[in-house]
Amino acid sequence: MMNNNRRLEILVGLFMIAGFVAFAFLAIKVSGLTTLNNSDTYQVFADFTNIGDLKVRAPVTVAGVTIGRVSSIILDPKTYEARVTLEIENNTKNIPTDSTANIFTAGLLGSNYISITPGFSDVFLKSGDTIENTNQAMILQNIVGQLMYNLNKKE
């Protein structure tokens, strides 16, 4: 009887451990939790005249390497510009203050992301700073529209 109970408890223990292992698999391997810890990031702002299709959680890159994510997008009620908050990892501290933030599209029809082109200043961005130089999102329809307009003008 005692032996039987012990076996039962061991089996249940194994069952719970299997649950935790599966949870760890989901957390680390599937959702990639280790790649970005929210605790060691700092916030930088950027104002865009048009953010196109940019979404919260879109990646922020320098030279194609992801260094952070977009954490919020709000409309500035006075300037009618979009104020984007960037969460940047602490191990990339040295972004010059005169860097330029662009909104690019991954592939032809992919999702939008923010690319930061570093400037030449010796002063680096701190938490709470704003990136002054920004280029708005390239919107495919506008580009096609301009192209059509120019082609018509030449004829």
Partner 1 sequence: MIEKIRQLGEKGLDFCESFGYSGMILIRSIIRKPDLKHGFRGLVEQLYNEGILSLIIIMVSALFIGMVLGLQGYNILEKFGTTQALGQLIALSIARELGPVVTALLFAGRAGSALTAEIGLMKATEQLSCMEMMAVDPLHRVIAPRFWAGFISMPVLATIFSAIAIYGGYLVGVKWLGVDSGAFWSNMQATVDFRIDVVNGIIKSFVFGFVATWIAVFQGYNCVPTSEGISRATTRSVVYSSLSVLGLDFILTALMVGGW
Residues that bind partner 1 (CB under 8 A): 5, 8-9, 11-12, 15-16, 18-19, 21-23, 25-27, 29-33, 35, 57, 59
Cβ closest to partner 1, residue 85 vs residue 133: 85
Q: Which two tokens stand for residue 43?
A: 């916030």
Cβ closest to partner 1, residue 106 vs residue 123: 106
Task: Give which of 113, 154, 110, 117 is closest to 134, Cα–Cα.
Answer: 117
Cβ closest to partner 1, residue 34 vs residue 94: 34
Spatial contact of 24 and 111, defined as CB atoms under 8 Å apart:
no
Q: Which two tokens stand for residue 104?
A: 């690019």
Residue with tokens 């940047």: 88
Residue 43 CB, shortest distance to partner 1, in Å, is 18
Residue 57 CB, shortest distance to partner 1, in Å, is 7
DSSP reduced 3-state for 59: strand
Cβ closest to partner 1, residue 16 vs residue 74: 16
